[in-house]
Amino acid sequence: MADAVDSGVGFPPGFFRRIDESGDPDFYREPRLVTHLDAPSLGALTTLYRELVPAGSRVLDLMSSWVSHLPPEVEYAQVCGLGMNEEELKHNPRLHAHVVHDLNAAPTLPYPDARFDAVLNALSVQYLTRPVEVFAEVRRVLRPGGLHLVAYSHRLFPTKAIAGWQALQMDERARLITAYFALSRGWTRPTECDRSPPGADPLHLVFAARAVDPAAAKPPTARSAG
């Protein structure tokens, strides 16, 4: 895919290639009303959101589906979902509004500047072929100080995940996400969390805030958090 080259600065040739380079709308045409982690790990993700996304926030659920994993008892000012399948998004009870949008074809987000307090990407960052452009757009739509939270695990659709992601170990994937933050610029230092429940699917998170003063932001490097 030629567009993948746009995000390829500093990455090996073919890093953003996929086994299936056909149009993503075709792949996601049929709804998949399934979850991609076991119950303990999904519970751990909800706990993370409870800790990091305050009540009353304006939230964008990026690459959304039929469930957003947000804590059911917390009220948010607005939750918007951007995903690939209309039926999945319609089934999501947390969304106040949604839009079908292919980020690999058009990484520009259809929202105004500084619109959100938090942007979530749960278990889908591995499908982005233009991640640096998308991360830059996420920064644009976040208010200064707003968080971008990227959760990932070991499960994926192998034909649609980028080759580079599939070649990396779990800890290397954290460094890749940190590189996306660094290359898109204007973020605080990313934090890495391992919240994998014992005996359950792995659950990792890398998050950073939009820098209040992008010119003063330090070059991001990942650090560990409990």
Q: How far is CA 148 from CA 18, 39, 187, 192, in A?
A: 25, 24, 9, 12
Residue 217 has pLDDT above 60, yes or no: no
pTM of the model: 0.88
Residue 220 has pLDDT above 50, yes or no: no
Tokens describing residue 64: 């959304």
Strand, coil or helix: 117 = strand
- Domain count along the chain: 1
Residue 7 has pLDDT above 60, yes or no: no
Kindly indicate the confidence band of residue 216, based on its pLDDT and cuts at 50, 70 and 90.
Answer: very low
Q: Which range marks the domain in which residue 207 is found?
A: 2-225
* Residue with token string 């039926």: 87
Beta strands 204-209; 191-194: pairing state: antiparallel
Task: Note whether 215 and 182 are within 8 A (CB).
Answer: no
The whole-angstrom distance between residue 148's C-alpha and the CA centroid of its chain comes to 8
CATH code for position 206? 3.40.50.150
Ordered DSSP codes for 120-182: EEES-GGG-SSHHHHHHHHHHHEEEEEEEEEEE-S---TTTS-HHHHTS-HHHHHHHHHHHHH
Task: Note whether 128 and 109 are within 8 A (CB).
Answer: no
Whole-angstrom distance, CA of residue 182 vs CA of residue 214: 12
Instruction: Count the Cβ atoms, other than its own, within 10 Å of residue 17.
Output: 14
111-132 pLDDT tens trace = 999 999 999 999 999 999 999 9
pLDDT at 190: 98
Kindly indicate the confidence band of residue 34, based on its pLDDT and cuts at 50, 70 and 90.
Answer: low
Mean pLDDT, the chain, integer: 89
Kindly indicate the confidence band of residue 31, based on its pLDDT and cuts at 50, 70 and 90.
Answer: low
Whole-angstrom distance, CA of residue 150 vs CA of residue 85: 20
Task: Note whether 218 and 189 are within 8 A (CB).
Answer: yes
